[in-house]
Amino acid sequence: MTKITYREAVRIGLREALQRDPRVFLMGEDVGKYGGTYACSKGFLDEFGPERIRDTPLSESTFVGAGIGAALGGMRPIVEVMTVNFSLLALDQILNNAATLRHMSGGQFSVSLVVRMATGAGRQVAAQHSHSLEGWYAHIPGITVLTPATVTDARGMLLTALHEPDPVFIFEHAYLYSIEGELEEGPPAVDISRAAVRRTGKDVSLMTFGGSVWKALAAAAQLAHEGIEAEVVDLRVLRPLDTGAILASVQKTHRAVVIDEAWRTGSFAAEIAAQIMEGAFYDLDAPVARVCSEEVPIPYPKHLEDAALPQPEKIVRAVHRLLGRG
């Protein structure tokens, strides 16, 4: 097995997608000459040319909308939005057009669009570049929401997404780009319908996704030293949600902590907790706990940013409370 960075995995996936299908093109801010904000498309402009690697003006709403139109016109666009915060400028196109056109047209038009964007905090880039809004997107019927946490998913989910007839949104946690992992053997395109158990355990389920998967695994390692076996469930797909995997884990461990880097109020973690309540209430030995971000725009100083976000220690404490050891 080969160790590569998450950034490199995204780049491999993009390159394979461009090589495989002439309908695929990449469009977004600084994807060409600059090589991608996170260097995920470095060298592509030379390799694939300016028709397929398109630097756009800073016009999020229009280049996302143009992706919708290009998909309707038979292309397979991959649109890169620099960060989830900037995607708010394109929310009209995403919600009112991409997610809605198929239904509103009585099934006449499908929008085979893939949109990628960076999400998440942890790099001291303050309150306009650090938020985790993928849960908002998961609220919208008609789209698929993916949160690759591993290098295998970072490369493979993109390839699978390009075969979907409807819009797919891929949220890459910015903190993960420099993290190294092992690219698993197997077909490059991976399943995008199931959650994955990243660590098995019998005492408590840690449910999470994206960048927080690694924090949950770190917490599980600490808990293991204390003899507590935590299971880590990487949701991978926020919509459509793999409810079966969530319930199966809770039915095994009887306790759940949901970790979500979004703000606690109205978070996707609340949806997971509700799903567990609806489907596995009588399997629970304790109330479902949540570890989310504090109710504050992400601050710049490191000590405050760290305090605002879910951390392995907070997850460990939440587990202790569930087990009556707090």
Partner 1 sequence: MTYSMPREQGLQLLRHMLRIRRFEERAAELYQLGKIRGFLHLYIGEEAVAVGSIPSFTSEDAIVATYREHGHALVRGTSMGTLMAELYGKATGCASGRGGSMHFFDASRRFYGGLAIVAGGLPVAVGLALADKLQGRARVTGCYFGDGAVAEGEFHESLNLAALWKLPVLFLCENNLYAMGTALARHQSQTDIAAKAQAYALPAETVDGMDPLAVETATRHAVEFVRNGNGPYFLEYRTYRFRAHSMYDAELYRTKDEVAEWKRRDPIMTFEQTLRTARLLADTDLQNIETEIATEIEDAVAFAEASSWEPVEQLTKNVCTPKT
What is the spatial distance between Cα 176 and Cα 154, in angstroms, rounded to a whole number?
A: 10
Q: How many CA atoms lie within 13 A of 269 on its CB side?
A: 25
> Within 10 Å of residue 325's Cβ, how many Cβ atoms?
10
Q: Which of residues 148-187 bind partner 1 (CB under 8 A)?
A: 165-166
Strand-pairing partners, residue 54, are 27
Starting at the edge strand that comes first in sequence, how are the strands of the sheet with 204-208 ordered?
A: 196-199, 230-234, 204-208, 256-263, 289-293
The site that binds partner 1 (CB under 8 A) totals a number of residues, namely 40
Which of these is catalytic: 129, 131, 173, 254? 129
Contact flag: residue 109 with partner 1 (CB under 8 A):
yes
Closest to 149 in 3D by CA, of 124, 119, 113, 126: 119
Beta carbon nearer to partner 1, 239 or 255: 239
Contact flag: residue 51 with partner 1 (CB under 8 A):
yes
Pick from 2, 19, 96, 178 the residue near partner 1 by CB under 8 A.
Answer: 96
Beta carbon nearer to partner 1, 157 or 174: 157
Candidates 7-15, 63-71, 150-158, 318-326; binding stretch for partner 1 (CB under 8 A): 63-71
Beta carbon nearer to partner 1, 106 or 227: 106
Known active-site residue 129: yes
Pick from 25, 137, 177, 268 the residue near partner 1 by CB under 8 A.
Answer: 25
Contact flag: residue 141 with partner 1 (CB under 8 A):
yes
Contact flag: residue 297 with partner 1 (CB under 8 A):
no
DSSP 264: S
Which of these is catalytic: 8, 16, 29, 60? 60
What is the spatial distance between Cα 58 and Cα 124, in angstroms, rounded to a whole number?
A: 23
Known active-site residue 303: no
φ/ψ (deg, to 5) at 114: -115, 125
Cβ-proximal residues to 313 (8 Å cutoff; 6+ apart), any chain = 219
CB of 304 to partner 1, least distance (A): 34
Pick from 4, 15, 39, 62 the residue near partner 1 by CB under 8 A.
Answer: 62
| Interior/surface letters 240-268, b for 16+ CB within 10 angstroms, e for the rest | ebbeebbbbbbeebbbbbbbbbbbeeebb
Residues that bind partner 1 (CB under 8 A): 25, 51, 54, 56-57, 59, 61-75, 77, 92-93, 96-97, 101-110, 141-142, 165-166
* Catalytic residue set: 60, 129
